[in-house]
């Protein structure tokens, strides 16, 4: 059977499943739309949370970044995983006990301030819209290859599918759709990794295969990868990283950004009890670990497979001829995400580090790296083709990549929709709006959010994971400090919280626009700026941690100058933190 037909079967079947679930679980009330009626089983919610959290950045982009940088990009693994633990332990149970629908709801009520609510809405929208760009970018990459359409058409198809099940089902439909999407994406990610681990090491567990003996060289796989990379003039895989200071800041930014992500936090509002929120968090961590422990193996093995493809006889021997390029290269070249150029006209593919060319490059008459384009977002999706796996595995990875992108996109769009319809319209502009009117406003605002996300997805500022990292920094500098102080600092008043959010978000946005001045401008590249200009060498992707520190500092200084929160607010905060009564929510 033709590969295109196989891809259509897998992708089409998964889409039919998602839309069918949305019709079955159609939201009939605002409670269904915002919080799935607060009746979701903890295990189901754990799987849905994992799918919501493991976005296109995790499925499509993260392994590609690790593959081409190595140890230095392990920050993505450490930051995102550590951040989820922080969220599960410090925030989720308390926010569920508060008993509201959204993060701005919590901040507005806790700080008894419409200004605080407004800032929370702005922060949520800025972070969520930035985040959703990465998801639409990932969906476009997947569609452009597997459905053999251009990137624009792929994005429009993805937007239509998300619109169909998100607008119809709300949180209730999205929850059960995300359960199905988790099953699809974890199977799609794991099966190719098992095949490739068996090919390279004979070990069926990729987590163990990463540290096993490479069958081709008879030495540890990572040692083999290090040697071939160094021979080609690249940095070694396991020891290379840039600034340790930036690495720590970036990891911290991802951690606290994860804990401040509104689309993940609202998932914990869907369970019946506070104790169920804790159980959901535990199950989600198990489900997340199934993918995150495999990702390093996927990155390392894919990088080795690419080099082996180009140099079948060893890196210092005659490389692959252009005429003998395997089908996977030709297929991805058609998307524009992979490109080669025969710079010296010898008919062979040269692949090495231009800035640190190996000695044998001159001897062989090489004229520079001829892989002139390799979008790192394609690596996981191309992995089965690189390893020459069966067609059904390629179809499965197509469905999995789209499931990862669409599941998180749906959660983000719901968070955006809720912020507009519930927090802005219902809580501030029109408190007397009927439930039917609010539900309609939620669906209309989600439609507009999907249109905006699609447009921005056509002009992303970077790779999916890098765009997502910016969103994490924005959430880290604005929402996370406000939530933490709202739970654990009963004396924090509204003036301090407002000052903190303004300073945190403002400084982070200013830093990003200053050092990535063309951010969101179509057709430009966020990576064009250089570290030489950064303040103390701090990357814009890492500045979220600094913004959070500024947020905390400003909040506590202003709070000291303006007095503590009212007694009734302090009593309410005490009620949120008290362990007893974990079965219910705080009454307001």
Instruction: Verify that 265 and 190 share a domain, yes or no.
Output: yes
Q: Domain check: are 377 and 421 in the same one?
A: no
Q: How many domains does the chain have?
A: 2
At 168, is the pLDDT very low, low, confident or very high (cuts 50, 70, 90)?
low
Examine residue 349 and state whether it is found in any structural domain, yes or no: yes
Contacts of 381 (CB under 8 A, 6+ apart): 60, 141, 142, 145, 146, 397, 398, 401
For residues 154 and 220, state if they share a domain.
Answer: yes
Supply the range of the domain harboring residue 11.
3-301+387-469
pLDDT at position 530 is 61
Establish if 482 belongs to a structural domain: no
pLDDT at 525 over 50: no
- Whether residue 89 is found in the same domain as residue 168: yes
Residues 378-432 pLDDT 10s = 888 888 888 888 888 888 888 888 787 777 777 788 788 888 888 888 888 888 8
In this structure, the answer to whether residues 85 and 165 fall within a common structural domain is yes
Asked if pLDDT for residue 528 goes beyond 70, the answer is: no
Based on the fold, state whether residues 180 and 233 are members of the same structural domain.
Answer: yes
Whether 100 maps to a domain, the answer reads yes
Asked if residue 125 is part of any domain, the answer here is yes
Indicate whether 193 and 254 sit together in one domain.
Answer: yes
pLDDT band, very low/low/confident/very high, at 481 (cuts 50, 70, 90): very high
Q: Among 426, 452, 469, where does a domain finish?
A: 469
Task: Of 426, 411, 566, give the one whose Cα is nearest residue 493.
Answer: 566
Alpha-carbon distance 490 to 567, whole Å?
9
Q: How confident is the model at residue 28 (pLDDT cuts 50, 70, 90)?
A: low
Structure tokens at 9: 């079967």
Q: What share of the chain in percent tops pLDDT 70?
A: 90
Last residue of a domain, one of 420, 449, 469: 469
- pLDDT class of 582 with cuts at 50, 70, 90: very low
Structural domain contains residue 97: yes
When pLDDT is cut at 50, 70 and 90, the band that residue 524 belongs to is very low
What mean pLDDT, rounded, does the chain reach? 83
Whole-number pLDDT of residue 420: 87
Q: In this structure, is residue 146 part of a structural domain? A: yes
**Same-domain pairing of 50 and 132:** yes
CATH number, domain containing residue 412: 1.10.4160.10
Query: Are residues 343 and 204 part of one domain?
Result: no
Whether residue 49 contacts residue 459, with contact meaning beta carbons closer than 8 Å, is answered with no
How far apart (Å, rounded) are the C-alpha atoms in residues 545 and 557? 18
pLDDT-derived band at 334, boundaries 50, 70, 90: confident
Name the 3-class secondary structure at 172: helix
Higher pLDDT, 584 or 12: 12
**Mean pLDDT, residues 296-323 taken together:** 91
pLDDT reading at 518 higher than 70: no
Is it the case that residue 53 has pLDDT exceeding 60?
yes
Give the 3-state secondary structure of residue 340.
strand
Which of residues 440, 469, 498 is at a domain's end? 469
Residue 493 domain-assigned (yes or no) = no
Asked whether residue 198 falls in the same domain as residue 80, the answer is yes
pLDDT at 96: 79
Q: What is the per-residue pLDDT for 293? A: 92
Shared domain check, 88 and 217:
yes
**Do both 243 and 357 map to the same domain?**
no
The dihedral through the CA atoms of 328, 332, 334, 339 has a sign that is negative
551 located within any domain: no
């Amino acid at each position: 059977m033709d590969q295109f037909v196989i891809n259509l079967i897998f992708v089409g079947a998964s889409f039919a499943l998602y839309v069918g679930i949305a019709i079955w679980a159609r939201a009939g009330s605002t409670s269904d739309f915002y919080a799935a009626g607060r009746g979701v089983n903890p295990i189901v919610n754990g799987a849905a949370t994992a799918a919501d959290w493991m976005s296109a950045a995790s499925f499509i982009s993260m392994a590609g970044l690790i593959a081409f940088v190595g140890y230095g990009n392990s920050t993505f693994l450490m930051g995102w995983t550590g951040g989820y633990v922080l969220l599960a332990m410090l925030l989720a149970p308390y926010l569920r006990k508060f008993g509201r629908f959204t993060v701005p709801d919590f901040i507005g009520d806790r700080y008894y301030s419409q200004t605080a609510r407004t800032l929370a809405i702005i922060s949520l929208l800025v972070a969520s819209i930035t985040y959703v760009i990465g998801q639409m970018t990932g969906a476009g990459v997947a569609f452009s290859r597997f459905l053999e359409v251009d990137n624009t058409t792929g994005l429009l198809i993805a937007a239509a599918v998300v619109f169909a099940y998100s607008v119809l089902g709300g949180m209730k439909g999205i929850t059960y759709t995300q359960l199905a999407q988790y099953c699809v994406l974890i199977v799609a990610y794991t099966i190719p990794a098992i095949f490739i681990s068996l090919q390279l090491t004979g070990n069926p567990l990729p987590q163990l295969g990463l540290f096993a003996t490479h069958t081709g060289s008879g030495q540890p796989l990572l040692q083999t990868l290090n040697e071939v990379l160094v021979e080609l003039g690249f940095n070694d895989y396991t020891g290379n990283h840039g600034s340790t200071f930036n690495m720590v800041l970036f990891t911290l930014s991802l951690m606290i950004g994860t804990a401040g992500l509104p689309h993940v936090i609202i998932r914990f509002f869907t369970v019946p009890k506070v104790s169920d929120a804790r159980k959901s968090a535990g199950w989600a961590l198990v489900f997340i670990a199934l993918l995150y422990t495999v990702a390093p193996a996927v990155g390392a093995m894919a990088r080795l497979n690419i080099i082996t493809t180009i140099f079948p006889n060893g890196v210092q021997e005659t490389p692959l001829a252009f005429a003998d390029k395997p089908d996977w290269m030709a297929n991805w070249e058609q998307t524009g995400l992979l490109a080669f150029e025969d710079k010296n006209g010898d008919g062979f593919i040269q692949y090495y580090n231009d800035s640190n060319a190996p000695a044998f490059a001159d001897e062989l008459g090489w004229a520079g790296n001829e892989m002139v384009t390799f979008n790192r977002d394609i690596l996981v999706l191309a992995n089965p083709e690189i390893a020459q796996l069966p067609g059904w595995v390629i179809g499965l990875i197509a469905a999995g990549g789209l499931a990862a992108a669409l599941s998180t996109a749906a959660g983000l769009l719901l968070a955006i929709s809720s912020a507009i319809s519930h927090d802005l319209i219902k809580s501030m502009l029109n408190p007397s709006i009927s439930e039917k009117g609010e539900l309609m406003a939620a669906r209309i605002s989600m439609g507009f959010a999907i249109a905006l996300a699609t447009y921005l997805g056509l002009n992303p500022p970077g790779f999916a994971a890098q765009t997502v990292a910016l969103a994490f920094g924005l959430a880290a500098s604005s929402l996370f400090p406000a939530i933490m102080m709202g739970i654990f600092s009963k004396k924090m008043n509204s003036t301090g919280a407002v000052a903190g959010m303004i300073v945190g978000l403002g400084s982070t946005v200013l830093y990003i626009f200053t050092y990535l001045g063309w951010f969101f401008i179509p057709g430009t590249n966020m990576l064009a700026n250089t570290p030489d200009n950064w303040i103390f060498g701090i990357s814009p992707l890492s500045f979220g941690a600094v913004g959070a520190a500024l947020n905390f500092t400003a909040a506590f200084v202003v709070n000291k100058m303006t007095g503590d929160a009212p007694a009734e607010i302090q009593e309410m905060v005490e009620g949120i933190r008290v362990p007893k009564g974990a079965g219910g929510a705080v009454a307001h």
